[in-house]
Amino acid sequence: MTDDTVRPGLEGVTVAETRLSRVDGEAGELLVGGYPVETLAGNASFEEAVYLLFEDRLPTGRELDRFRSELAAHRTLDEEVHGVVRRAAADGDPAMDALRMGVAAASLGIDAEDPRTAATRVVAVAPTIVAAYWRYRQDEAPIEPDPDLSHAANYLYMLTGERPSDAAVRGLETYLATVIDHGLNASTFTARTVVSTESDLVSAGTAAIGTLKGPLHGGAPGPVLDMLQSVHESGDPEGFVRDRLDAGERLMGFGHRVYRVRDPRAAVLSSAAERFYAGTDEDGFYETVEQFESVALDALAEHKPDRRLATNVEFYTAALLHGVGIPRDLFTATFAVGRAGGWMAHCLEQLDDNRLIRPVSAYVGATDREWTPVAER
């Protein structure tokens, strides 16, 4: 039976069952693989988080070593893929376009028809593509991945050519695990829709990247950093907030489509950022971040008392990624590096009990038109 109720944006429509994550917007809770996000991201390596979503359990030490080796084997880029990424950088294409083209080309030389192999390849190769793109943009040679480094450490190493600090690796590790999955968001829904047609997982990952590229989905951390740096330079958080709200402008990093309270991922990332900046915040940037959040929340409660606008994941994403050394232009692509694990897990889950995703639309067009020959129009 067809339900003729129109729900724009499919809001509130349940279209799949999943064991991967549960989002409770009213309570401000997020479960990932059965664990509260603060527990998982506070303890797990990114490899452990991906394995959990793929296998529905945490790996043993031996299984984790094997999975790390599997990812390492899929992390390098063929010269043909480098050619695509190099051209994207030379043309000045955004990082997300380079990632989309690179992932699509990265199916060369692998058995993309095998879902697990394709899933591993997409997860493994994403940071290599982003890092290579950035090196090409700086007119520098790309850095080959080091099989002895973790996923997060390799990403930072391939960006700079220098071994990252333990603090930077842990900060990035926490971020990647925090954003690995988040319900049936737009890009995840897109990935599941693609594989529901029995297409391949590389195609699904490519489509998901294209979806995440949209600023309504994954584009806010960059503008948040711009805002925070402007506030830090001015030294006047209250004045900045007042001017923005008086002008009717929104404050980036506050409010969320799902959460009506503080985004639980913001709590995880604020703790990670606080740990990272402890003892290194020489110019007081992180102190400004904390002051700004407090001032902004008070002002939003006063100016918009009928709306519950709390801190979202992008606010502390900007502070943390900036601190660990991720360039601002790579923020959304770094989001994709983490979310690739969730995309691929959803694709594998979809294939376990597949049914073609095929919603209906409500027709609102004309019904009584009569044909007029072209000579009489």
Residues belonging to the active site: 256, 314
3-state secondary structure of 30: strand
Which residues, listed in sequence order, are joined to residue 311 by a DSSP beta bridge? 254
Tokens for 5, please give them: 């109720």
Task: Return the residue matching tokens 């724009």.
Answer: 8
Classify residue 124 as exposed, middle or buried by CB count within 10 Å of its CB (0-12, 13-18, 19+): buried
Tokens for 356, please give them: 């073609």
CB contact at 8 A, 201 and 344: yes
Euclidean distance between the first and the last CA atom of the chain, given in angstroms as a whole number: 41
Q: Give, for 83, the enclosing helix (H) or strand (E).
A: helix 79-90
Tokens for 244, please give them: 């923005």
Q: What angle do CA 288, 290, 293 make, to 5 degrees?
A: 105
3-state secondary structure of 24: strand
CB contact at 8 A, 232 and 288: yes
- The per-residue DSSP string of 201-252 comes to HHHHHHHHHHHHTSHHHH--HHHHHHHHHHHHHHT-HHHHHHHHHHTTPPPT
3-state secondary structure of 36: strand
Distance from the Cα of residue 324 to its chain's centroid: 17
CA distance 319 to 183: 24
CA distance 130 to 243: 36
Handedness of CA 44, 352, 106, 333 (dihedral sign): negative
Cβ atoms within 10 A of the Cβ of 181, count?
31
Handedness of CA 358, 364, 370, 375 (dihedral sign): negative
